[in-house]
């Protein structure tokens, strides 16, 4: 049987920084409030002519190079995004594939908001274990600034832009295999976090809609409470089901939404600070891109070594959530 191995990671962060100080000139907020309630100090914002696919392609190029594979060996690309280049079609995955010259491979997007990367990891795992594909490029890419209402202090302080990508490959070696992935959802909470307009559920006359009604809206405090409860249960379950102790986790890589959510889940698992990967301070919440961007951070700083076990967890609009137990398994040179 083929197993799925997490071979490589890459990321791209746009150069422009939007600081808390700058935001406090745009809405009624302060660096002190944002830092205390979220842990965020700054976020990066893509240029006007820089699309989600541009960022995704840069992250993906790096991930392919670091995997050691040739571009021609990639046989599928899946992109997780809630800020695609185009509404409905074409998919951002097909655009990234063409920008990278990957040929006529299977390419599609999925929508699972901030849980997107865990979802595409599970899709890659399933395609590889079924024998249908061998080397899959997964990309989480977001230009959230394009769907953020910069007059709403409840959301605009949180979100940023960026992309991360990974190559997942078939292996016969069970030691290298992704151990387990959980994914879940509950549409009962759909209205906690949504872009209410612009889709078939709302549009009678698109021209009559305010442009801002296509932006993200969130009931933050309620979302926060469901996130802590759901994530804590999910990570405890995945560890128990796989007989893994939290002390066996080398890197806990949570979706970077809010430091207080990360801390609550980390405390529930009794994790030490050095096990918890934090990038929320410098990138804010980049939705589907946040986990691969965080993995890339520990990779580039030399903290992520072959064989080390990562626990990923994520929560987002839908509502959706997920977790994954993933050893880092680059090809042996
Ligand atoms: N600056 C200053 N004050 C603000 C503010 C801001 N940016 N945003 C909200 N406030 C005010 C509120 O108006 C409220 O004022 P009031 O007490 O006078 O009514 C007060 O701060 C508390 O608001 P509340 O929404 O309860 O704050 P919070 O502690 O829940 O923090 C979030 C708000 C958005 C940071 C937090 O709820 C959060 O991170 N939620 C989850 C985000 C998330 O995980 N999303 C899903 C996954 S992507």
Residue list, ligand 1 pocket, CB within 6 Å: 29, 33, 37-38, 114, 153-154, 157, 193, 220-221, 223-224, 227, 257-258, 261, 285, 315-316
Atom of ligand 1 nearest to the CA of 154: 8
pLDDT bracket for residue 111 (50, 70, 90): very high
- CATH no., domain 1-333: 3.40.47.10
What average pLDDT does this structure show over 214-241? 94
What is the pLDDT averaged over residues 35-47?
98
Each residue of 130-147: pLDDT tens digit? Answer: 999 999 999 999 999 999
Ligand 1 midpoint to CA 148 (Å)? 16
- 161: CA distance to ligand 1 center in Å? 20
| pLDDT of amino acid 197 | 81
Q: What is the pLDDT of residue 332?
A: 85
pLDDT tens digits, 92-106:
999 999 999 999 999
| pLDDT attached to residue 199 | 81
Q: How would you classify the pairing of strands 193-194 and 180-185?
A: unpaired
Residue 160: per-residue pLDDT: 98
Q: Is the dihedral of CA 16, 22, 28, 34 positive or negative?
A: positive
22, 33, 35, 37: residue to mutate for ligand 1 pocket, most atoms within 8 A of CB: 37
How confident is the model at residue 212, as a pLDDT?
63
Per-residue pLDDT band for 123 (boundaries 50, 70, 90) equals very high
Q: What is the pLDDT of residue 214?
A: 82
Residue 274 Cα, ligand 1 centroid: separation in angstroms? 28
Q: What is the mean pLDDT of residues 240-267?
A: 97
Q: What is the number of the ligand 1 atom nearest to the C-alpha of 258?
A: 39
Residues 231-257: what's their mean pLDDT?
A: 97
Ligand 1 centre from 33 Cα, in Å? 9
pLDDT at 90: 97
pLDDT at 54: 98
Phi-psi region of 20 (alpha: psi -120 to 50; beta: other; left: phi over 0): alpha
Catalytic residue numbers, as ranges = 114, 255, 285
pLDDT at position 254: 97
Cα 319 from Cα 188, distance rounded (Å):
8
Q: Over 80: is that where the pLDDT of 210 sits?
A: no
Q: Which residues neighbour 168 within 8 Å (Cβ) at sequence distance 6 or greater? A: 4, 5, 6, 7, 121, 124, 125, 128, 135, 136, 138, 178
User: Could you identify the atom of ligand 1 that is nearest to the CA of residue 193?
Assistant: 46
Instruction: Give me ligand 1 centre to Cα 317, in Å.
Output: 16
Which pLDDT value is given to residue 283?
98
Read off the pTM. Answer: 0.96
Share of the chain above pLDDT 90, in %: 92
What are the angstrom distances between the C-alpha of 197 and each of 153, 214, 221?
20, 5, 22
- Atom 47 in ligand 1: which residue has the minimum CA distance? 316
Is residue 150's pLDDT more than 90?
yes
Nearest CA to ligand 1 atom 7: 153
Q: What percent of the chain has pLDDT over 70?
A: 97
Strands (E), 148-245: 161-171, 180-185, 193-194, 217-218
Span 121-138, average pLDDT: 98
Average pLDDT along the chain: 95
- The pLDDT, as a whole number, for residue 211 is 64
List, for residues 1-22, the tens digit of each pLDDT value: 899 999 999 999 999 999 999 9
pLDDT in tens, 177-200: 999 999 999 999 999 999 988 787
Mutating to test ligand 1, I would choose from 190, 258, 294 the residue with most ligand atoms within 8 A of its C-beta, which is 258
Smallest CA-to-CA distance from 154 within 279, 38, 283, 18 is with 38
Predicted local confidence at residue 249, as pLDDT: 98
């Amino acid at each position: 049987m083929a197993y799925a191995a997490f071979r490589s990671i890459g990321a791209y962060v746009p150069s422009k920084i939007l600081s808390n100080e700058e935001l406090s000139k745009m809405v009624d907020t302060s660096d002190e409030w944002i830092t205390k309630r979220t842990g965020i100090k700054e976020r990066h914002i893509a240029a006007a002519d820089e699309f989600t696919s541009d960022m995704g392609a840069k992250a993906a190029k790096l991930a392919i190079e670091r995997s050691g594979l040739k571009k021609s060996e990639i046989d599928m690309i899946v992109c997780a995004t809630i800020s695609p280049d185009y509404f409905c079609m074409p998919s951002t995955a097909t655009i990234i594939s063409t920008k990278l010259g990957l040929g006529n491979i299977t390419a599609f997007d999925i929508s699972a908001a901030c849980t997107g990367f865990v979802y595409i990891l599970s899709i890659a795992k399933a395609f590889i274990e079924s024998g249908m594909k061998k080397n899959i490029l997964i990309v989480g890419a977001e230009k959230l600034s394009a769907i953020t209402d910069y007059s709403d202090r409840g959301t605009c302080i949180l979100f940023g832009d960026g992309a991360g990508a990974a190559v997942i490959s078939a292996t016969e070696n069970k030691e290298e295999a992704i151990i387990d992935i959980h994914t879940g959802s509950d549409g009962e909470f759909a209205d906690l976090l949504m872009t209410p307009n612009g889709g078939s559920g709302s549009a009678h006359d698109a021209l009559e809609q305010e442009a801002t009604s296509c932006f993200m809206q969130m009931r933050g405090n309620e979302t926060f409470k469901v996130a802590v409860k759901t994530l804590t249960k999910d990570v405890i379950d995945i560890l128990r089901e796989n007989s893994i102790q939290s002390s066996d986790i080398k890197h806990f890589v949570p979706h970077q939404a809010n430091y207080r959510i990360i801390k609550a889940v980390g405390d529930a698992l009794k994790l030490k600070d050095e096990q918890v990967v934090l990038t929320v301070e410098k990138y804010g919440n980049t939705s589907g891109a946040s986990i691969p961007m965080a993995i890339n951070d520990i990779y580039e700083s030399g903290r992520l070594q072959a064989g080390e076990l990562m626990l990923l967890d994520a929560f987002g609009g839908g509502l959706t959530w997920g977790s994954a137990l993933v050893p880092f398994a680059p090809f042996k040179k």
